[in-house]
Amino acid sequence: MKQSIDELFSLQGKQVLVTGGSRGLGLQMAEVLGDAGATVFLTARSAEDLEQAAAALNARGIITDWEAGDASNPADINRVCAAALMRLGHVDILVNNAGASWGAPAEDYPLEAWDKVMNLNVRSVFLFSQYLAKHSMIPRKQGRIINLASIKGLMGNAEHDDIIAYNASKAAVINMTRALAGEWGEHGITVNALAPGWFPSKMTQGMIQFRGYEKMASRAPLRRLGDDEDLKGATLLFASRAGKHITGQVLAVDGGVSAVGD
């Protein structure tokens, strides 16, 4: 039986876990998934930030829970995932958004900075995905995983970027997305990645101030940077039945920057 467009994009009855969900892109994605009917479970390091984010989502009519934890710590990942499964029963949709960056020239890049970025941006994506696939999605023969990559995983450093670990980590997320999609497709699990361009956020504010908002926007064919709505449509597509035949894909949401080069 054919479904209406509203039914295809509905997430009624679905349970979502969003890492790095207390602010920025993570909160933006939590909003659209909750608005589409899902129950939302947030995690991030700061309990105070999570409490505020949950209150904002609850004010929108979204059922929201949270558990604080450090996504770079494997023990915390296990604890957060176990808490989500205990409270929700299962997780249908995982959004791997937690991430970090560190700026330094490649020739002087500190090892501790490399490890910090890789542990959070790459290892946590795998560990959250592994735990929830094994304990929830594979047994139920269904699931959606959405990984946050970046257009920086599709290109090299521009002048003065100095973010070698960030770029390398996001390229790793892109190929991990493809590898997991190939391995877990038989279990009814789709795995896709979003590759945002420049969005104003706590992580990007320094670079935007350094380069200048208008100058950066002028390099995008659409002559703008991302805003607090621009990830919502792509997120809902990957999370819903509307995207059930899409897996292993990377969608740039960047105003066209990756089409012409940064």
Catalytic residues: 166
Give CA–CA dist 23/231, Å, rounded: 14
What strand order describes the sheet that includes 250-253?
64-66, 39-43, 15-19, 93-96, 143-148, 189-196, 250-253
Report yes or no: 235 and 199 within 8 Å, Cβ to Cβ. Answer: no
Pairing of strands 39-43, 189-196: unpaired
Q: Which of 36, 27, 35 is nearest to 6 (CA)?
A: 36
Of 132, 235, 216, which is closest to residue 180 (Cα–Cα)?
132
3-state helix, strand, coil in the chain (%, to 5): 50, 15, 35
Assess contact for 39 and 63: CB atoms under 8 A: yes
**Crossing angle of the two packed helices 74-88 and 124-132, in degrees rounded to 10:** 30
Alpha-helix runs per DSSP H in 108-248: 111-118, 124-132, 138-140, 164-184, 205-211, 213-218, 232-239
